[in-house]
Amino acid sequence: MSESLLPWLDVASAEGSSPRTVDAADQAAPLSEVVGALSCALDITEGQPEGHALRTCMIGMKLAERMGLSEHDRSALFYALQLKDLGCSSNAARVAHLFAADDRRVKKDFKTTDWPRLISSMRYAARNVAPHGSLIQKLGRFVAIGVGGPGEARTMVKIRCERGAAIASMFGLPRATAQTIRDLDEHWNGRGHPEGLRGEAIFPLARVASVAQTVEVFLEAGGLDAALDMAKKRQGKWFDPAIVKALLSLRNDTKFWAEVTGPDILRAVAAHEPPDLVLTADAGRIDRIALGFGQVVDAKSPWTQKHSEKVSELAVGIGRAMGMDDAAVRDLRHAALLHDIGKLGVSNAILDKPGGLTDDEVAAMRMHPAFTHRIMSRVRVLSRIADVAASHHERLDGKGYHRGLTAKQLSKPARALVVADMCEAISAERPYRDTIPMPDVLEILDRQVGSGVCPEAFEALKLHLDVVGYTPSRWSDAPQACAA
Ligand SMILES: [Fe+2]
Ligand SMILES: [Fe+2]
DSSP, residue by residue, 245-283: HHHHTTTT-HHHHHHHHSS-HHHHHHTTS-GGG--EE-H
Per-residue three-class SS string for the chain: CCCCCCHHHCCCCCCCCCCCCCCHHHHCEEHHHHHHHHHHHHHHHCCCCCCHHHHHHHHHHHHHHHCCCCHHHHHHHHHHHHHCCCCHHHHHHHHHHHHCCCHHHHHHHHCCCCCCCHHHHHHHHHHHCCCCCCHHHHHHHHHHHHHHHHHHHHHHHHHHHHHHHHHHHHCCCCHHHHHHHHCCCCCCCCCCCCCCCCHHHCCHHHHHHHHHHHHHHHHHHHCHHHHHHHHHHHECCCECHHHHHHHHCCCCCHHHHHHHHCCCHHHHHHCCCCHHHCCEECHHHHHHHHHHHHHHHHCCCHHHCCHHHHHHHHHHHHHHHCCCCHHHHHHHHHHHHHCCHHHHHCCHHHHCCCCCCCHHHHHHHCCHHHHHHHHHHCCCCCHHHHHHHCCCCCCCCCCCCCCCCCHHHCCHHHHHHHHHHHHHHHHCCECCECCCCHHHHHHHHHCCECCCECHHHHHHHHHHHHHHCCCCCCHHHCCHHHCC
**How would you classify residue 398: left for phi > 0, otherwise alpha for psi between -120 and 50, otherwise beta?**
left
Mean pLDDT over 465-472 rounds to 93
> Do 214 and 89 belong to one domain?
yes
Backbone phi, then psi, for 292, in 5-degree steps? -65, -45
481 — pLDDT class (breaks 50, 70, 90): very low
* Higher-confidence position of 361 and 130: 361
Tell me the ligand closest to 343's alpha carbon.
1
pLDDT, mean of residues 404-418: 97
Reduced to 3 states (helix: H, G, I; strand: E, B; else coil), residue 449 is strand
Q: Average per-residue pLDDT in the chain? A: 86
Query: Which numbered ligand comes closest to the C-alpha of 417?
Result: 2
Is there a single domain that holds both residue 316 and residue 204?
no
Q: Among 98, 173, 188, which Cα is nearest to 143's?
A: 98
Rg, Å, the chain Cα set: 23
| Ligand in nearest proximity to the CA of 366 | 1
Closest CA to 484 of 332, 331, 316, 305: 305
Of 264, 280, 296, the residue that ends a domain is: 280
Q: Is the pLDDT of residue 26 over 90?
A: no
Q: Is 359 helix (H, G, I), strand (E, B) or coil?
A: helix
Ligand nearest to the CA of 365: 1
Domain span at residue 478 reads: 283-482
**Interval between CA 123 and ligand 1 midpoint (Å):** 36
Sorted by sequence, the CB contacts under 8 Å of residue 139 that are 6+ apart come out as none
345 and 238 part of one domain: no
> How many Å lie between the centroid of ligand 2 and the Cα of residue 400?
14
Q: What local confidence, expressed as pLDDT, does residue 484 receive?
A: 34
345 Cα to the center of ligand 2, angstroms: 14
Q: Is 251 part of any domain?
A: yes
Mean pLDDT (whole number) for 190-217: 96
Name the 3-class secondary structure at 107. Answer: helix
| pLDDT band at residue 148 using 50, 70 and 90 as cut-offs | low
* 32-60 confidence digits (pLDDT tens): 999 999 999 999 888 888 999 999 999 99
Are 79 and 124 members of one domain? yes
Is residue 403 domain-shared with residue 475, that is, in the same domain?
yes
The answer on 334 and 202 residing in a single domain is: no
My answer on whether 329 and 201 are in the same domain is no
- pLDDT reading at 407 higher than 80: yes
Q: What is the pLDDT of residue 432?
A: 76
Band the pLDDT of 146: cuts 50, 70, 90.
low
- Between CA 338 and CA 333 the distance in angstroms is 9
Q: Which residue has the higher pLDDT, 53 or 125?
A: 53
291 with 199, same domain?
no
Quick one: pLDDT band at residue 115, thresholds 50, 70, 90? Answer: low
pLDDT of residue 150: 63
Say if residue 263 is in the same domain as residue 294.
no
pLDDT at 1: 34
pLDDT > 60? residue 281: yes
Angle subtended by helix axes 455-468 and 307-321, to nearest 10: 100
pLDDT at 482: 39
**Residue 305, φ and ψ in degrees, nearest 5:** -55, 130
What is the distance in A from the centroid of ligand 2 to the CA of 338?
9
Give residue 154 CA to ligand 2 midpoint distance, Å: 31
Catalytic residue set: 343
Q: Which amino acid is at 280?
A: T
pLDDT confidence of residue 129: 63
Across the strands, what pairs with 255?
Answer: none
| Per-residue confidence (pLDDT) for residue 459, from 0 to 100 | 98
In DSSP terms, which residues pair with 235 in a beta bridge? 239
pLDDT tens digit string along 381-404? 999 999 999 999 999 999 999 999
Which CATH number do you get for residue 230? Answer: 1.10.3210.10
Q: How far is the CA of 393 from the centre of ligand 1 (A)?
A: 6
**Segment 285-340, tens digit of pLDDT:** 999 999 999 999 998 887 788 999 999 999 999 999 999 999 999 999 999 999 99
Comparing 44-48, 173-177, 466-470, the range with the smallest average pLDDT is: 44-48
Task: Give the Cα separation of 368 and 421 in Å (integer).
Answer: 14
Q: Tell me: pLDDT of 423 over 50.
A: yes
**Mean pLDDT, to the nearest integer, of 154-159?**
82
Say what the pLDDT of residue 225 is: 96
Structural domain total, the chain: 2
In a domain, 7, yes or no: no
| Measured torsion, CA atoms of residues 40, 42, 46, 48, in degrees rounded to the nearest 10 | -10
Give the pLDDT mean for 193-214: 96
Q: Are residues 329 and 223 in the same domain?
A: no
| Higher pLDDT among residues 442 and 123, named by residue | 442
Q: Please give the single-letter amino acid code of residue 359.
A: D
382 and 254 co-located in one domain:
no
Higher pLDDT, 150 or 269: 269
Specify the pLDDT at position 9: 30
Q: Residues 248-269: what's their mean pLDDT?
A: 93
Determine, yes or no, domain membership for 17.
no
Q: How far is the CA of 378 from the centre of ligand 1 (A)?
A: 19
Same domain flag for 456 and 476:
yes
- Of 280, 300, 330, which residue constitutes the final position of a domain? 280
Distance of alpha carbon 30 from alpha carbon 274, whole angstroms = 13
Over residues 95-106, mean pLDDT? 73
Give the pLDDT mean for 400-419: 97
Question: Which of 247, 280, 313 marks a domain boundary?
Answer: 280
The DSSP call for residue 29 is E
Please report whether residue 180 resides in a domain: yes
- Residue 196: pLDDT above 70? yes
Give the pLDDT mean for 399-421: 97
Say if residue 11's pLDDT is above 90: no
**Which pLDDT belongs to residue 229?**
96
